[in-house]
Chain A
Amino acid sequence: MIGSTPEATGQAERSWTLSFTVNGQRHELAIHPERTLLEVLREDLHLTGTKGACLEGECGSCIVLVDGVPQNSCLILAPQMEGREVVTIEGLADGTVLDPVQRAFVDNGAVQCGFCTPGVVLSTKALLATNPHPTYDEVRRGLEGNICRCTGYMKVLGAAMAAASAEGPGVADASPEDRPRP
């Protein structure tokens, strides 16, 4: 059930079989169909990098990539993921080598308490996949659905701009006055 603890979801209620791919690995799970993707990721697959905070699509801490597109995992009922490919924050690094977006967040000190970070990193990843050289304003818009309660937005936006420069062959297309001010 949505919002229920794992204990409340008894074996008898696991009436649905879900087949999907998470971080490149195929899974077939017996679940209660009224559980969210967020719950299944965290409780069944123990991928606790994906966070749940507002549980109503306002904060972005639960964002994952579904077929490459950022979506709020708290708003998805798990059976809707049949046959889909989900990427969580755990799926970005290649072994011990961080993804360029993760690297940029580390290098730019863009992490405070860290709770919003997985969602912000995945939103940045998705933005750069469709728009490799965003302007500063496009980055702001791309991350508008991610709330940082530490309010560390300037470092986050700087890291995203740095990731854009690092990921592509060229330098991000932003004029100096577009760039974040310290």
Chain B
Amino acid sequence: MFHRPSTLTEALELKSRLKDKGVFLAGGTDLVVGVAKGRLAVEHWIDLSGVPGLSYVREEREELAIGPLATHAMLERSAFAPALAQAARTVGGPAIRNRGTIAGNLGTASPAGDVSVALLALDATLTLVRSQGSRAVPIRDFFVGPGKTRIAPDEMIQEVRIRRPADSAFLKLGKRQSVAIALVSAAAVRQSDGRVAIALGSVAPVPLRAAQTEAHLAIAGLAPDAIREAAGLVSAEVKPIDDHRASADYRRALSGVLVRRLLEQLAAASSNHESAAPV
């Protein structure tokens, strides 16, 4: 069955009734391929393309709000947090980015989700909504395993919010520069209090926060020696696997390289900022 509700209330009521038998359809970049390739059968589609007002990315003072139908193309154009735009920019080609949604990318919960990694480093908060109300879930708690999240069978992702960081950056290495799944992706965020967060993709069953490396940086700062040590720490901290795209050893080495480059970027931007500040 194909359902095309015209309001959010109607969409949530359908989901509440159908539970796991109902699947929200947004960009279709995962779901339609899944059905076409026979990996997935959908009993009830709940298409959101007829519900107005869900497709937005807007700055609300020091926060960015990402709506349930916001696409990668929309995020790519946002200057709010460089890591987010950079991550969105590395997904597929322009036509894919015009369809694939951020909420869909989170819901798919791929260990290689690029925007998920940036949002994890940015400590995003997800609002999950159902007919009877909504709840906030920190992105740290959202991913459970490959393809598995904390979304209940009657819920949808209503909004994703982040606070404005002092600086952020994202890097990804795939087999090509375009339309490629990450061998490793990484995001680093410097908050205004100086705290540095690091997240990596394709190195664990879920997007990973590098807690030990972050703890080291909290003490050692972003001096060249500290960055070199952080690169070593992060290589030890990630938990990659061997697969057809890369070996675990290569991914460990690559994690260190990407994190070193990201931290060097943050350090350079931070020292430029300080030298430019009035004395």
Chain A residues close to B by CB (< 8 Å): 2-3, 15-16, 33-34, 36, 55-58, 60, 63, 69-72, 74-77, 79-80, 82, 123, 126-127, 141-142, 144-147
Contact = CB atoms under 8 A, between A and B. Distances in A.
B179 A79 contact: no
Contacts of A77: 2, 25, 28, 32, 45, 47
Nearest to B32: A75
Contacts of B47: 77, 79-80
Contacts of A56: 33, 36-37
Contacts of B32: 2, 36, 74-77
Interface residues on B, range: 20 to 34
A126 B94 CA distance: 10
A60 B95 CA distance: 8
Given A75-B27, A77-B25, A80-B28, 8 more contacts: A16-B2, A34-B2, A55-B33, A75-B28, A75-B96, A144-B93, A144-B179, A145-B92
Given A34-B2, A80-B49, A145-B179, A123 B94 contact: yes
A7 to B, nearest CB: 18
B35 interface: yes
Given A75-B99, A79-B4, A145 B33 contact: no
B162 to A, nearest CB: 25
B contacts with A: majority SS: loop
25 contacts: A2-B35, A2-B36, A34-B2, A36-B32, A55-B37, A56-B36, A57-B92, A57-B99, A72-B29, A72-B96, A72-B99, A75-B28, A75-B33, A76-B99, A77-B28, A77-B32, A77-B47, A80-B47, A82-B49, A142-B94, A144-B93, A144-B178, A145-B94, A145-B96, A146-B93
Nearest to B73: A69
Listed from nearest, the 8 A-B pairs whose CB atoms lie closest are: A145-B93, A33-B2, A144-B178, A80-B49, A2-B36, A70-B95, A56-B33, A144-B93
Contacts, number: 90
A52 to B, nearest CB: 10
Contacts of B37: 55-56
Interface of B: 2, 4, 25, 27-29, 32-33, 35-37, 42, 45, 47, 49-50, 92-96, 98-99, 177-179
